[in-house]
Structure 1
Amino acid sequence: MQGNGGNSRTYPFQRLLSFQHTDFLYTSFLWKVILMSQEEKQPQENRAWTIESHGIEPIGDEERHGNPSEVFWIWFAANVGILGVTYGGMLAANGLNLWQSILVAFLAPVVSFAVVGVLSIAGIWSGAPMLTLSRAMFGPRGNIGPALTSWISLVGWETVIVITSSYALLELFKIVGLPVNPVTTIISLIIVAAIVIMLGLWGHATLVQVQKIATWVFGILTLIIVVFLLFQTDWQKVLSTPPGPWDTGLITSFIVIMASTGFGWINSGADYTRYMPRKTSGSAITFWSVFGGTLPLLVLMIVGVLLASKAPNLANGSPVDLIGLLPSWMAVPYLITAIGGMIPAAALDIYSSGLNLLAVGIKIKRYYAVLIDGILMVAGAFYVMLIANDFQGPFISFVSLLAAGLTTWAAIVLVDMISRRRYDTRSLVDTTPKSAYYFTGGFYLPACIAWVVGVVIAFLFTKSSFFTGPFAIGIFESTNLGYMLGAVVSAVLYAMLKLTFPIKASVPEEAVS
């Protein structure tokens, strides 16, 4: 970590947890190969198991490293959690038969993670995080709205994941004979939250390594558990289920699964590609993003479809509820797998939420932003678990509503990327009128107008526990199609308004990707 004078300092807890000071781990050749193979290629500012010193400033050429396959580990580990089984239960609950379910379980993640992959390419072009580079479209002040929306969404989802993981840890406590009371609830929350926060503090290089480990360890454990779960399948019922309706069944499920999987990460993609060399293949980034996100989800959702033959309420439950379908001796490894499969996703959320807080305009170090988000995450989880036990449902509904702002934002970024190949990297962090992206008072009107209009349209066609839009009828009532409609409106409107408000700011050759 860089101090004010640029000198590297190592804090006590860094030394304690740094693999440079745990020589005994080097006795394991396999561990060394998995964890340390990239160490020599990593710059000092972004080395695994030490705190990443960079914030949202674009990464220079001399610090670029890595390869496209890194995003495979990122998105595989983020989606290997048992939660994917409940998505499969939802497909069965919507009346789809096995073949329709396979179609949705494959296509929905492919399409949604393709969007994540394409958006991630902008991280290579700019060297900046996702919500920082969109200042080039919205202006430094216009970008505050999308960045704040993204930050709240990420903090909300990391809180939900930590709550779910903490409940799973409580179940593990119960199995080993510990009572479930406020004290053990707090202990479980502290354990899970501490791991998530520490991973967020370490940052990018550590997350890449951890996601690789999680992919192998929890991927294999999940596969073993899946084999046992398959024995619970009523194959006659599964194979005899007739096709479900194509409108309210297949299309509805396709939209919901897209929104629940890849689209949940559209505001994070560039955060994990900004360190890659400028010449990194964009098509390779997209391929590995799709492969990494789709593979675990496809397997888990099909398992969910099969399990729904014995557990019809699977879609409305939590991963912990699956314990009843397993032999008693499998409960402990299952819970460990469930917890371990969710923590990587929360770690990605807290890392990106810290970057988003900086993109809003808060002038602090990245690791302080992570600590702030961690405090909010723990406070929210504490409130849900110990004070208002019936609050989690409304809380998730509120966080889900923020998807309207994120899908419309992503649509604008995608349209902008069609005609853009470079960024003025200095202007991405310069919020003064001297910035090439300051535009009119810090706002680029085409993007800002298109975003607001798209969000309004999305809400008009959306139903939630908080309100129901006047046009949320038919297929819009039971899906996130309103968000998609808002995104289309934003994309078209932005493309049209750009013709009226052309960008006149010049981009110096020495400052571009």
Structure 2
Amino acid sequence: MDIEKRSIEFVPHSERYGHPRRLFTIWFSANMQVTTLVVGTLGIVAGLSLIWTCIALVLGCVIGTVFMAAHSTQGPHLGIPQMIQSRAQFGVLGAGFPLLINYLAFVLFTAANGVVMRDSVQAFLNVGDNTAIILFGVVSFIVGFIGYELIHRLGALMSALSGIIFLIVAGLALQQPLPAGAMDVSQGFTLAAFALTVTQAASWTLGFGPYVADYSRYLPANISSRQTFWFSYIGNLLGAGLVMLLGALLAVLIKDVTSDPGTAIGSFFGPWSKVAMVIVVLGVLEINSLNLYSAYMSFMTMFTGMRGMTRISRKTKFIAMGLTAIAATWIATATQYNFFAYFSDILIAQVYFLVPWSSINLADFYLVRKGKYSVDAMYDVNGEYGKYSWSTMAIFMLGVLSTVPFMDLSFYHSYFAQMIGTDISWIPALIVPGGLYYLYNRNRFQSKSPNMTLQKAA
């Protein structure tokens, strides 16, 4: 399989291929792994009963995936990476602001996956803690470097393998007796824990927004946007929802599932546990490669905006992605013994920065410009999108600031978070910046040509 030759540039129509059903398998499999399962356990850890945790998880996934799938339709329409499209809102150089935040979020999630997989790797390789994390990072780097097609093929394979593993675990777990009151809606409910669990599930699915179009941009431009949306939505909703629900179930049955989910899964397979653990590791390897690939795309989008570059050499790609993998691996080895607080914080903290970006991007695409863009201008610092859009950057910061009164982290508890009992900052993060952006720009781009996205037809 050839190494992907495209990077941040427009994908010519002559190179477009594939069917939207590929989006189902990549997003189903990206969630069919134990990091998603850990998100499902957090409601139980917070004190909710099993039934209320399940309700909160489903609600969060249903809401968050709407925005993720809405971003997915941008890929075939524009044929460019997700974050390049931010240049239309923030300016060619101004887009570097959310890009930096986006890059850091991807690096942190890549690191988190390395921590989660440490014990699972050690289940079939006799290596130390740091070595297990490093090996996982190296293989993630290889897959990410080869790129788009390998990632999609791995997604199709893991949809089947991970699906079988988690189906078997679910069947065996459901045969075990549940603790008293686990399914009683009159018990085990607090508003704070319920809202927190909704936020965590929504945050997980919203977190795919900044890179979801990276994996649909090779699809033909004339495919149905509805197909793109629904294959992405259903794949992500089923993958995330089912695995999170399984995580909640296991959390009431197995004490250490949150800290060592891979081993918990392997324990169901007896003498076949090592085979199951290999599949578990491969499942997380896929999403780790997604994170690493898109971290590289975000970094190069930021860097090339300053340099006026439109293409990236394989040597540059190797160096940039390699440095990113090294940074993530170092963070993973440094945080591995304080993982729960670390993971919970980054899951919530991404809401404060990535969701305001998502809100602005979707408001621009669907409500303001209605899909009418100049792809050429996104690579030109002297083009119509300019170097900086100070108004958008100000709106973005207002969106971030709107979350401050609702923040709840391990080291900071805002006034409303203490009053309500949990963090609900994702709600203002979605509403405030998108609303402000629409109100400020709704009449500014009405004269744009409806054929602007066709300027790079070949």
* TM-score past 0.5 threshold: yes
> Equivalent residues in 2 for 1:354-373 (5 A)?
354-362=296-304, 363=309, 364-365=312-313, 368-369=316-317, 371-373=319-321
- Give the letter for the 1:74 counterpart: I
Partner residue in 1 for 2:418: 473
> Equivalent residues in 2 for 1:54-65 (5 A)?
54-65=6-17
SS at match of 2:124: helix
Instruction: State yes or no: 1:332 paired with 2:332.
Output: no
Structure 1 unaligned residues grouped into runs of 5+: 1-48
Deviations 1:242-296 (A, max 9, x none): 3544732433322221112x11201011101111111211111111112111223
* Segment drifting more, 321-330 vs 499-508: 499-508
Partner residue in 2 for 1:322: 264
C-alpha separation between the residues in 1 aligned to 2:330 and 2:100? 23
> Equivalent residues in 2 for 1:171-190 (5 A)?
171-173=123-125, 178=126, 180-181=127-128, 185-186=130-131, 188-190=132-134
Residue 322 to residue 458, structure 1, CA distance change in 2 (3 Å): same
Instruction: State yes or no: 1:426 paired with 2:369.
Output: no
Return the TM-score normalized by structure 2: 0.87
Partner residue in 1 for 2:63: 111
Instruction: State yes or no: 1:250 paired with 2:194.
Output: yes
C-alpha separation between the residues in 1 aligned to 2:110 and 2:137? 10
Residue 240 to residue 490, structure 1, CA distance change in 2 (3 Å): closer
Structure 2 unaligned residues grouped into runs of 5+: none
- Give the letter for the 1:417 counterpart: F
How far does residue 138 in structure 1 lie from its aligned partner after superposition? 1.1
C-alpha separation between the residues in 1 aligned to 2:70 and 2:279? 31
Deviations 1:102-141 (A, max 9, x none): 4333332222122111111122221111100111111112
Partner residue in 1 for 2:395: 450
C-alpha separation between the residues in 2 aligned to 1:225 and 1:336? 15
How far does residue 241 in structure 1 lie from its aligned partner after superposition? 5.9
**Alignment equivalent of 1:495, drawn from 415, 438, 454:** 438
Residue 181 to residue 303, structure 1, CA distance change in 2 (3 Å): closer
Partner residue in 1 for 2:97: 145
* Segment drifting more, 159-168 vs 266-275: 159-168
Partner residue in 2 for 1:16: none
How far does residue 195 in structure 1 lie from its aligned partner after superposition? 1.9
Count the aligned residue pairs. Answer: 447
Taking only the aligned residue pairs, the percentage that are identical comes to 20
How far does residue 371 in structure 1 lie from its aligned partner after superposition? 4.1
Partner residue in 1 for 2:324: 376
- Give the letter for the 1:319 counterpart: P
Instruction: State yes or no: 1:352 paired with 2:294.
Output: yes
- Give the letter for the 1:123 counterpart: G
| Bigger relative contact order, structure 1 or 2 (CA pairs below 8 A, ≥6 apart) | 2
C-alpha separation between the residues in 2 aligned to 1:430 and 1:107? 42
How far does residue 383 in structure 1 lie from its aligned partner after superposition? 5.4
SS at match of 2:71: helix
**Alignment equivalent of 1:407, drawn from 355, 361, 375:** 355
Residue 422 to residue 243, structure 1, CA distance change in 2 (3 Å): farther
SS at match of 2:353: helix
C-alpha separation between the residues in 2 aligned to 1:375 and 1:233? 48
How far does residue 97 in structure 1 lie from its aligned partner after superposition? 4.8
Partner residue in 1 for 2:406: 461
Partner residue in 1 for 2:153: 209
Partner residue in 2 for 1:15: none
* Segment drifting more, 501-510 vs 419-428: 501-510
Deviations 1:294-343 (A, max 9, x none): 223333233333333333665x4331452696364353233223212211
Rg larger in structure:
1
> Equivalent residues in 2 for 1:77-96 (5 A)?
77-94=29-46, 96=48
C-alpha separation between the residues in 2 aligned to 1:467 and 1:207? 38
Instruction: State yes or no: 1:486 paired with 2:436.
Output: no
How far does residue 202 in structure 1 lie from its aligned partner after superposition? 1.3
**Alignment equivalent of 1:221, drawn from 165, 181, 195:** 165
Alpha-carbon RMSD across the aligned residues, in angstroms, is 2.9
Residue 470 to residue 506, structure 1, CA distance change in 2 (3 Å): farther
C-alpha separation between the residues in 1 aligned to 2:90 and 2:162? 40
Instruction: State yes or no: 1:159 paired with 2:114.
Output: no
Contact 2:169 2:265 in 1 (8 A): no
SS at match of 2:102: helix
Contact 2:335 2:342 in 1 (8 A): no
C-alpha separation between the residues in 1 aligned to 2:180 and 2:337? 38
